[in-house]
Amino acid sequence: MKKLIVLIIVLSISLFVFSKTITFWTTETESDRQQRINALATIFEAQTGIEVKVVPIQENDLLKQIPVAKNSGTLPDLLEGGIEPLLLLASSGYMNEDLTSKIIKDFGDVYPGASRLLSNGKSNFGIPFHAWVQGIWYRKDWFDGKDLGYPLSWHNILTAAKSLNNPAKGVYGLILPKKADSYAEQVFTEIALANGARPIDENGNITFTSKAMIEAFRFYKELNKYAKPGYTTVLDALKGYLAGEASMIFYSTYIMDDIAVEDVQKSRINSFDPKLVLNTGFANKMINIRPTSYGQMVGLGILKTSNNTEEVEKFVKFLMTPKNYVYWLHMAPGGMNPTRKSVAESSEFLDNPILSRYGKEKISEIVGALDSVERFEFVNGKVISDMSKLSANFVIGKAINYMFANNWTPQQTAEWAQKEAKRVLGK
């Protein structure tokens, strides 16, 4: 008996002494998502003895926290984030690209388009983890009543906004972001790319004052004539659409559960429209002089500063093992779409009350769109790393906010953005 007790004590001490802890930053800060992530971390620790310290960070704060952590030497072992923070770290040489590329190769079924968005053309600086697609969600029943075309082109979007705008009845053509935040940049990106406009060209020239970019600012300002007043945010857009205040909003596929699920919708606006899911359409691309679509790839970034690379590799593969991966993705059905083809096509992933409301065909269309998503950070196979610095400083969001706050013309807005971009990039 004494020998057994001694053995247990020795094993316990050994586990304590030799167990490792890895730090994982995640932008999934909501309490229900934290519960799932912590549950996965607990299972992983039970299986491997490796503790995972989960640190939730708001998406808008991530780009601010990275420089602070770099300066203080407190970067995590692994972080979950969008393209911008991963690119920001990669441009400074902080990403473990060799291990990242190895893990993607080991999986063997990551969508090429998803992998391309986190690649510099030679290696990957992030592991594609999950993704969403942005588009215009619109009241299909209201459009049908007015015989309006699908809101895919600039012309149709503006025509519909004008036709359906009725402030006297508390209904607006659309809700448009006007705060200096990431949401404003995301919406403007799709509008600009549809007009062939980019803030930085493939040669690194800042091009805010190009004719195409000024036209994009002009279209944005024109749309606002038929938008809900005020400096509306992403939450205003969501609540406004659910409450029947807007005929159109720009939103990601994260909205799918808000539209379809009674409890979720009631948590936003204290009421539920059971027909909303049937009366809602989704335009997953935009066209003016060219077609484009916009989305966000959320990746897992492994830091070079980590001394726990073996443990991090085990945790990443644990998270993307089908059973655990589907458990993570179902935190936000429709918003979090898989990047592994085998998982996207699996019955386990589609076996969800929200995904089943939209149907397999629509879900396949959303996931398939990931191969054609465009971003300012990539042009003709080149990575525009300076773009992450502009995003970190909210240059586009500020330009849009100042355009409305100061009633600037599109030309004045473009000139301010050009000057600010040069200041941020030191050019």
334-364 pLDDT, tens digit each: 889 999 988 988 889 989 988 888 777 777 7
Closest of 158, 159, 156, 218 to residue 188, by C-alpha: 218
From-to residues of CATH 3.40.190.10 in the chain: 20-132+295-362, 133-293+374-425
Amino acid identity of residue 73, one-letter, is G
Burial class (CB within 10 angstroms; exposed 0-12, middle 13-18, buried 19+) of 128: buried
The DSSP bridge partners found for residue 303 are 95
169-192 pLDDT, tens digit each: 999 999 999 999 999 999 999 999
Handedness of CA 226, 230, 234, 236 (dihedral sign): negative
41-96 pLDDT, tens digit each: 999 999 999 999 999 998 778 878 888 998 898 999 999 998 888 988 888 899 99
230-258 pLDDT, tens digit each: 999 999 999 999 999 999 999 998 899 89
**C-beta separation of 173 from 248 below 8 A:** yes
User: Which DSSP string do the residues of 141-168 spell out, in sequence order?
Assistant: HHHHHHTPPPTTBHHHHHHHHHHH-BGG
CATH architecture of the region 20-132+295-362: 3-Layer(aba) Sandwich (3.40)
Average pLDDT along the chain: 91
- The pLDDT of residue 9 is above 70: no
The CATH class of the 133-293+374-425 domain is alpha beta
Question: Which DSSP symbol is given to 123?
Answer: S
Q: For residues 346 and 344, give the distance between their C-alpha atoms in angstroms, rounded to a whole number.
A: 6
Residue 155, CA atoms < 13 Å, CB-side half-sphere: 4
